[in-house]
Structure 1
Amino acid sequence: MSRYRFAIDNVQAHLRSLWLIIGLQIMVIAALCYGWSRAPEHLTVHIPPDLRSGAVQHHTEVPAASVYAFAFYLFQQLNRWPEDGSRDYGRAIFRIAPYVTPRYRAELLANLDEKGRRGELAYRVRALQGIPGLGYSENRVDILDSQTWQVWLDLELLESVKGMTVKRTRIRYPLRVVRYAVDPEANPWGLALDGFGADGPRRLTDADLLGGEPAHAIQ
């Protein structure tokens, strides 16, 4: 009789250990489900353009090519006035507002007001385009710190008033770009223009166009 009793006690002890293991597994599964629910739904990863030799990219790292592309695209949109600068410039500032810092937005609005008072916007059409041979290269993006870059854009500025060309100039724009991950819904890049760096824009010389020097080496 005692032998059967001992066997029953062993079975019950084994069942209790199994229930303990099941309870621990439920707790682990619940913790995993909670962690899964807290994981980000969207993760932005900047992929470098040249993958011929492969790439190892951390999701917080922004390659120089992505910074350059961001600055080029946004600055081109800011300076695209297809019909009338008196209307188009303000619309462009409003359209790219999520992609500029508050400081630079204030500068742009002040510039809009100044140009309007000086009569430099009415009926003015403006566009920026890249210059062949002076596009992206690694030396066109300077890393100032982990949160800030300076991008050197060599672009051709085209302006006309009532169909008459009034300006056709090649200019070097030193643009500051900063991390700005404050509204991923409106700004998935997590970057923002922060105005001009260095000494501001200047006209390109023939030496700039023919010399092939690094962008930041010619001041």
Structure 2
Amino acid sequence: MSRFRHALAERDAHILTLKSVIVLLCLCLAGVGYGWYTAPRNLTLYFPPDLRTGSTRPWWEVPPASVYAFTFYIFQQLNRWPDNGEEDYTRNLRALRAYLTPACQNWLDHDYQLRRDGGELRSRTRGIYELPGHGYSSRVEGDDKRPHPRVEVLGRDAWRVTLDVAVEEYYQNEPVKKALVRYPLQVVRYAIDAEINPWGLAIDCTDSTPQRLITEAKP
């Protein structure tokens, strides 16, 4: 009888061990399922422009080239008035709201009102273009006459971008302004809604007065 009792005890112990393993596996599966459910569905990764060589960087780090490309693209779209500045400017402000910080949006709204009240927008078209040789690969001289990068990293979530562009404006197809301007723009991380702003960046307007390089204007 002792042999049978010992066998039954071993069977019960084995069953208890199997139950414990099953419970442990269920807990592990529940944890994996919760982690899978809460994991982000989309993750923005930044790659260097030249993929012929490898690159190792933290996933959250935004390369300066990407910051420059974002800044120039949004700034160019903001200043593109193909038909009538009085309508195009305010339409651009609404369309690009997700790519501007609230403070910058308020500043541009005020700028629009001043230009509209001053008669600088009606029947006026505008466009800006990057100056040849002044793109991201080139370097710009600062006030101290020393070369600085086009994108200056101010911190993990902030950058200063220098754009050298040509600004052209026309009034009823007549050229009224052509200027070469250097814009120092502030850019910050702005990962609020990836659906409407996949870049995760926003322009925080200028951090100093734009510098006019060459100007050709007609009254």
Residue 172 of structure 1 is matched in structure 2 by 182
Q: How does 1:154-173 map to 2 (within 5 A)?
A: 154-173=164-183
* Pairing partner for 1:203 from 195, 202, 212: 212
Return the alpha-carbon distance in structure 2 between the equivalents of residues 113 and 5 of structure 1: 94
Q: How does 1:1-219 map to 2 (within 5 A)?
A: 1-137=1-137, 139-198=149-208, 200-204=209-213
CA contact (8 A) 1:43 1:59 kept: no
Secondary structure (helix, strand or coil) at the match of 1:119 reads coil
Aligned-pair distance for 1:182?
Answer: 2.1
Secondary structure (helix, strand or coil) at the match of 1:5 reads helix
RMSD, aligned CA? 1.3
Aligned-pair distance for 1:6?
Answer: 1.1
Q: Where has structure 1 moved over 3 Å in runs of 4 or more? A: none
Aligned-pair distance for 1:203?
Answer: 1.7
CA contact (8 A) 2:126 2:169 kept: yes
C-alpha offsets along residues 19-71 of structure 1, whole Å, 9 cap, x if unaligned? 11111111111111111111111111122212222112322111101110110
Larger strand percent = 2
Aligned-pair distance for 1:188?
Answer: 1.7
Unaligned runs of 5+ in 2: 140-148, 215-219
C-alpha offsets along residues 93-131 of structure 1, whole Å, 9 cap, x if unaligned? 111011101111111111111111111111111001111
C-alpha offsets along residues 123-147 of structure 1, whole Å, 9 cap, x if unaligned? 1110011111111127100111222
Unaligned runs of 5+ in 1: 206-219
> TM-score normalized by structure 1?
0.89
Question: What one-letter code is carried by the residue in structure 1 that aligns with 2:170?
Answer: S
Secondary structure (helix, strand or coil) at the match of 1:165 reads strand
Return the alpha-carbon distance in structure 1 between the equivalents of residues 93 and 51 of structure 2: 35
> TM-score normalized by structure 2?
0.89
Matched pairs, number:
204
Larger helix percent = 1
CA contact (8 A) 2:61 2:156 kept: no
Return the alpha-carbon distance in structure 2 between the equivalents of residues 95 and 23 of structure 1: 54
Aligned-pair distance for 1:181?
Answer: 1.7
